[in-house]
Amino acid sequence: MKQWVEQFNGRMDAWGRKLHEKEIRIPIDLVTGLAFAIFALAILLVMPDQVAISEKDVVNGRAFPTLLMMVMLLCCAMLIGKELYKLATKQPLNWKVINIQVEAKALAILGILLGTYFLSKWTGLFVVGAVFCCLGFLLYFRCRKKSYYVITLVIAVAIWAAFRFVLGVEF
């Protein structure tokens, strides 16, 4: 078992080193501007379906979200305009470096979170999800101290018990 764990860790380390070298550079302001411009336009597009109004209203329920999306579009136009100006004048753009290893680790954490959620939901027992969460994170951190496993599991069950029996939350 110990050997298997060592082998697994070794593989993960080698994989991590490979991923660590891989990076993606994105023109962050340009991407943000474009993404939110599309988002604002999409909201404006779905507005008639999603916000019912009465013809009699002087100011209806669409007025405020429309105003917000207009402000958002204006901000996006400014962001895109600023970056295009930089491109035209050959000034450096605002770049963001995305490290693939970091994103892979974030996905692993998201996996633990989703696992906790679905286990709790499917079993209807929050405590099952809580135990999975503890084990998941301790394995993620490659914790070898047995005492940490015991402490974390005890606290997890204690939190569930506090919500269940002290605060009266049914789960």
Partner 1 sequence: MLQYIAPATGLLFTLENILWINIGVFIGSVFAAIPGLSVILCVILFLPVTYSMTAIPGMMFLLGIYCAGGYGGSVSAILINTPGTPHAAATMLDGHPLSERGRTKAALKIALYASTFGGISSALMLLFLGPQVARVAAQLGTAEYFMVCVFGLTIIAGVSGKSMIKGLISACLGLLISCVGSDPMTSYDRFTFGISRLYLGLDLAVCLIGLFALVEIMSKAEKRLDRLNLDTTQIKDDGIITKEEYKRMARPMLLSSLIGVMVGIIPGTGASEASWFSYNTAKNMSKHPEEFGHGSVEGIAAAEAANNAVTGATLIPLLTLGIPGDGTVAIMLSALMINGLNPGLTLFTTQGNIMYAIMLGLILVNIFMLLQGKFLTRLFAKVVSIPQEILTPIIVIFCFAGAYSVNENFFDVGVALIFGMLAWILRKLELPPVPILLGLVLGSMTETNFRRALLISNGNPKIFFSSVYCIIFLVLILLAVGTIVRGKMKERSTQKEA
Structure tokens at 79: 């962001």
**Residue 88 Cα distances to 81, 92, 108, angstroms:** 10, 10, 40
- In the three-class reduction of DSSP (H, G, I as helix; E, B as strand; rest coil), residue 3 is classed as helix
Q: Which of 61, 100, 125, 128 binds partner 1 (CB under 8 A)?
A: 61
Told to check if 161 binds partner 1 by CB under 8 A, we report: no
Q: What are phi and psi of 61, to 5 degrees?
A: -70, -10
CA distance 35 to 55: 33
Told to check if 159 binds partner 1 by CB under 8 A, we report: yes
Q: Report, in Å, the least distance between residue 7 CB and partner 1.
A: 22
Token match 């991407």: residue? 31
CA distance 32 to 29: 5
Q: What are phi and psi of 156, to 5 degrees?
A: -60, -45
- Whether residue 44 contacts residue 71, with contact meaning beta carbons closer than 8 Å, is answered with no
Q: Report, in Å, the least distance between residue 55 CB and partner 1.
A: 12
Q: Which residue's CB is nearer to partner 1, number 12 or number 114?
A: 114
Told to check if 117 binds partner 1 by CB under 8 A, we report: yes
Q: Which of 42, 67, 84, 87 binds partner 1 (CB under 8 A)?
A: 67
Binding to partner 1, residues 36-55 (CB under 8 A):
36, 43, 46, 50-54
Sites of contact with partner 1 (CB under 8 A): 28-29, 31-32, 35-36, 43, 46, 50-54, 57-61, 63-65, 67-69, 71-72, 75-76, 78-79, 96, 98, 102-106, 108-110, 112-114, 116-117, 120-121, 126, 129-130, 133-134, 136-138, 141, 143, 145, 148, 151-152, 155-156, 159-160, 163, 167, 169-171
